[in-house]
């Protein structure tokens, strides 16, 4: 398998065999900004993206003068859409996982109306934006990005974390050209082998998720195949006018490959996107060894890949630490009225103190 994905990770609790990822298994809460950290200690800058609950803004700390990405989520929307558990899972995982392929969490704080999650700023932008601009990637780019995604997923799986939201929008490119996974809203620690929540992006859902028979780590390997196809072709293998037509195509698993797609890419996609989880590349009896042995990955030095030592095929244009040129422009959000949460709803958000092992506020 892989060597250490986490640069500078403590060897305590890590596997030492070169056939495995050396995972820092100490899942204590990482050092964050202090609990009293808040908006008054930040300079709010441009909007980097928008979502269901709010938006992500570039901020600069008035204390260390570094740039960060701040997820600003409206509590009322979170409660109304019943997504609080997903966000709690995201904070629980990001506050404990130590992996150089995962965006770093620095602070979590809140006020009466909003919840704030402050993360590493990744100035290279979304993989989606680069793919949209280029229309499709070269074979070298497809292989590199798939290798780094595999490193990230395998690290998470070693910690019993299933990601469940692989897609180009959730993969960022750092200024050095290496990848970071972001948006862990659908990720969770698996206490059992399977979970049953229907979540994710329709085009990337695995058959077992749609069928509601329970799913586990194998859904991430299916999604890796879908992403590889989209990077090579410029569009996903399963698409339609509505989610139900997409689901039908996924269940049929009949992939129509463009004639120009490289044969090894076709083979890898076909191996990842197998309905039978026991035969799916990355899962089943062979596990990660099956990925290593596949011809698409021939010649990959997985130890170097896991340490981000392979030279990226593309280095994004980043002029400064606070450069936002790789992100789209977003208009500012209109001021909203107070959320008027009930006492019970406000109490639900105090659970973040427990997740972050803070004294109850």
Domains (range + CATH), the chain = 39-123+321-355 (3.30.200.20), 127-306 (1.10.510.10)
Question: Tell me, what DSSP letter sits at residue 81?
Answer: T
pLDDT band at 13; cut points 50, 70, 90: very low
Place of tokens 């392979």: 310
- Residue 157 buriedness (CB in 10 A; 0-12 / 13-18 / 19+): buried
- Residue 189 buriedness (CB in 10 A; 0-12 / 13-18 / 19+): middle
Question: Tell me, what DSSP letter sits at residue 297?
Answer: G
CB-based contact 134:142 (threshold 8 Å): no
CB-based contact 291:147 (threshold 8 Å): no
Res 3: pLDDT: 33
C-alpha dihedral over 193, 195, 196, 201, to 10 degrees? Answer: -110
Res 4: pLDDT: 31
Kindly state the average pLDDT of the residues 153-180. 97
Indicate which residue of 43, 165, 191, 241 is catalytic: 165
Q: What is the pLDDT of residues 256-302, one digit of tens each?
A: 999 999 999 999 999 999 999 999 999 988 899 999 999 999 999 99
Q: What is the pLDDT of residues 80-132, one digit of tens each?
A: 999 999 999 999 999 999 999 999 999 999 999 999 999 999 999 999 999 99
Which of helix, strand or coil describes residue 225? helix
Res 333: pLDDT: 74
Is 165 catalytic? The answer is yes
pTM over 0.85: yes
Cα–Cα dist 266/338, whole Å: 52
pLDDT, mean over the chain? 90
């Amino acid at each position: 398998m892989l060597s250490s994905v986490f640069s500078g990770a403590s060897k305590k609790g890590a596997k030492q065999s070169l056939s495995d990822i050396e995972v820092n298994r100490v899942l204590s809460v990482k050092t964050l900004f202090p609990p009293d950290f808040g908006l008054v200690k930040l300079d709010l800058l441009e909007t980097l993206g928008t979502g269901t609950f709010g938006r992500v803004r570039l901020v600069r700390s008035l204390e260390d003068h570094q740039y960060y990405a701040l997820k600003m989520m409206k509590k009322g929307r979170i409660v109304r859409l019943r997504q609080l558990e997903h966000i709690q899972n995201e904070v629980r995982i990001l506050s404990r996982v130590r992996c150089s392929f995962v965006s770093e969490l620095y602070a979590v704080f809140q006020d009466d109306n909003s919840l704030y999650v402050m993360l590493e700023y990744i100035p290279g932008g979304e993989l989606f934006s680069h793919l949209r601009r280029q229309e499709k990637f070269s074979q070298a780019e497809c292989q590199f990005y798939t290798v780094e995604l595999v490193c990230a997923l395998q690290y998470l799986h070693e910690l019993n974390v299933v990601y469940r939201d692989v897609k180009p929008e959730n993969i960022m490119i750092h200024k050095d050209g290496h990848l970071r996974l972001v948006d862990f809203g659908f990720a969770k620690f698996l206490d059992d082998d399977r979970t049953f929540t229907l979540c994710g992006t329709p085009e990337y859902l695995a058959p077992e998720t749609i069928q509601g028979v329970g799913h586990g780590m194998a859904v991430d390997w299916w999604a890796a195949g879908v992403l590889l196809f989209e990077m090579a072709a410029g569009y996903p293998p399963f698409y339609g006018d509505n989610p139900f037509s997409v689901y039908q195509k996924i269940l049929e698993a009949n992939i129509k490959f463009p004639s120009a797609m490289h044969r090894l890419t076709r083979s890898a996609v076909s191996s990842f996107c197998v309905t039978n989880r026991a035969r799916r590349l990355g899962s089943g009896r062979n596990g990660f060894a099956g990925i290593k042995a596949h011809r698409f990955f021939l010649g990959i030095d997985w130890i170097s890949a896991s340490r981000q030592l392979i030279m990226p095929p593309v280095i994004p244009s980043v002029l400064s630490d606070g450069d936002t040129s790789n992100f789209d422009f977003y208009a500012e959000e209109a001021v909203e009225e107070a959320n008027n949460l009930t006492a019970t709803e406000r109490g639900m958000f105090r659970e973040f103190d427990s997740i972050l092992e803070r004294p109850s506020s």
